[in-house]
């Protein structure tokens, strides 16, 4: 059994099932079971590194930086890093530290994102800025970014450069999301570019550090990075659809949480595009914008339900599936085996999930 500091106990294998939709006990092939056990053991080591590193000689900093760490999370990026590592020597100490650094970067970005989006919930608990305020949440994110850099510094110049390049893309993605498309830009292409920078880049880095520090063949690195970026975009597009779904006990979010907060999603962009021709899409967009600006929860819920049933939502899911299919096609560059099958399963699950 694995017991987190959050007080929640997870049976070994539950974390891998959360990411891949696969329970270790359901695996029939010995190589798959062995890989699953190794990844679960690696996750324990990643978790231990994160908890050791996310510690400061300051009570407030300890409380704020551990707040979302203790809230849980699927640890998607460490799982993918550990899977990639098994294309080489497996979970070396360098892989473990690199995977921990990637997850700490992701954790840091959540603090900043929630401030930017004025989000009220994260991982089923009140977001950090609702507890301590915006300034403390931003500084907490900065502390975690700094700590991730310290972890990576032990891994050499190449790792530092990868960290810096990924951090730059995260910042550019947030900047472009905040400012929005410029005159003449295609709003949908702009949005997909934001997803590539904010989500795809970090997942691509997770897969790369696993392969690189696990000493996988160099010729597999580039296709693995491409896989990571494509599947990251697919994952986020699926989130756009999930935002419209009925309330989830896992996330604690109500339908349309992102829309209510003013966060742009692909269904909304498709609806705006269709609304330029007038007719029913324009009427729905007007109802949605009016409900979003008002304080009638029932009216807003009804508008979200209409958007969920509208063809633009199915188009979004089709785009997510297309990206996932492209990611799976890239995997042809690596040999068939349990790692490739796991990556394929993750790409499928990235778009066919409920939370």
Confidence of residue 12 (pLDDT cuts 50, 70, 90): low
Number of domain units in the chain = 1
Domain residue limits at 104:
2-351
pLDDT at 57: 78
**What's the whole-number average pLDDT of the chain?**
89
pLDDT tens for each residue of 189-209: 999 999 999 999 999 999 999
pLDDT tens for each residue of 158-189: 999 999 999 999 999 999 999 999 999 999 99
pLDDT at 27: 65
Q: Which of 196, 198, 208 is nearest to 80 (CA)?
A: 208
pLDDT at 70: 87
Confidence of residue 142 (pLDDT cuts 50, 70, 90): very high
Q: Give the CATH number, domain containing residue 31.
A: 1.10.600.10
Structure tokens at 292: 């979003």
For residue 61, pLDDT beyond 70: yes
Confidence of residue 295 (pLDDT cuts 50, 70, 90): confident
Q: Is the pTM above the cut of 0.85?
A: yes
pLDDT tens for each residue of 208-239: 999 999 999 999 999 999 999 999 999 999 99
Q: Which residue has the tokens 């700490």?
A: 104
Mean pLDDT of 37-47: 93
Give 222's contacts (C-beta < 8 A, 6+ positions apart): none
CA separation for the pair 99, 77 (Å, rounded)? 7
- From the number of C-beta atoms within 10 Å of its C-beta (0-12, 13-18, 19+), residue 182 rates as exposed
CA separation for the pair 318, 323 (Å, rounded)? 9
Confidence of residue 252 (pLDDT cuts 50, 70, 90): low
**Phi then psi for 266, rounded to 5 degrees?**
-65, -40
| Ranges 6-10, 50-54, 125-129, 130-134: which has the least confidence | 6-10
CB atoms < 10 A from the CB of 192, how many? 19
pLDDT at 2: 33
Mean pLDDT of 16-30: 69
For residue 20, pLDDT beyond 90: no
């Amino acid at each position: 059994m694995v017991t987190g500091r959050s007080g929640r106990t997870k049976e070994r294998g539950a974390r891998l099932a959360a990411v891949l939709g696969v329970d270790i006990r359901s695996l029939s092939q010995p190589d798959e079971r062995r890989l699953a056990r190794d990844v679960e053991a690696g996750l324990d080591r990643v978790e231990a590194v994160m908890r050791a590193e996310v510690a400061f000689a300051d009570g407030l900093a300890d409380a704020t930086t551990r707040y979302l760490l203790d809230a849980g999370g699927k640890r998607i990026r460490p799982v993918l890093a550990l899977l990639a590592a098994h294309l080489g020597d497996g979970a070396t100490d360098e892989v473990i530290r690199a995977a921990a650094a990637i997850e700490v970067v992701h954790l840091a970005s959540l603090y900043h994102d929630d401030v930017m989006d004025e989000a009220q919930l994260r991982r089923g608990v009140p977001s950090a800025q609702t507890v301590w305020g915006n300034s403390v949440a931003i500084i907490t994110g900065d502390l975690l970014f700094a700590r991730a850099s310290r972890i990576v510094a032990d891994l050499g110049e190449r790792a530092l450069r990868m960290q810096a390049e990924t951090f730059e893309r995260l910042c550019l993605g947030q900047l472009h999301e905040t400012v929005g498309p410029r005159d003449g830009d295609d709003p949908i292409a702009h949005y997909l570019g934001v997803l590539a920078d904010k989500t795809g880049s970090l997942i691509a880095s997770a897969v790369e550090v696993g392969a690189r520090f696990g000493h996988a063949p160099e010729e597999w690195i580039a296709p693995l990075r491409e896989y990571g970026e494509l599947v990251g975009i697919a994952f986020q597009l699926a989130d756009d659809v999930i935002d419209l779904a009925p309330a989830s006990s896992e996330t604690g979010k109500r339908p349309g949480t992102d829309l209510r907060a003013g966060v742009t999603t692909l269904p909304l962009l498709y609806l705006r595009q269709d609304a330029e021709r007038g007719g029913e899409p324009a009427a729905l967009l007007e109802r949605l914008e009016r409900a979003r600006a008002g304080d009638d929860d029932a009216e807003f819920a009804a508008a979200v339900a209409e958007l969920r049933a509208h063809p633009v939502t199915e188009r979004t899911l089709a785009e997510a599936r297309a990206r996932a299919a492209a990611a799976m096609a890239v995997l042809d560059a690596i040999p068939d085996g349990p790692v490739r099958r796991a990556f394929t399963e993750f790409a499928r699950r990235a778009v066919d999930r409920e939370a």
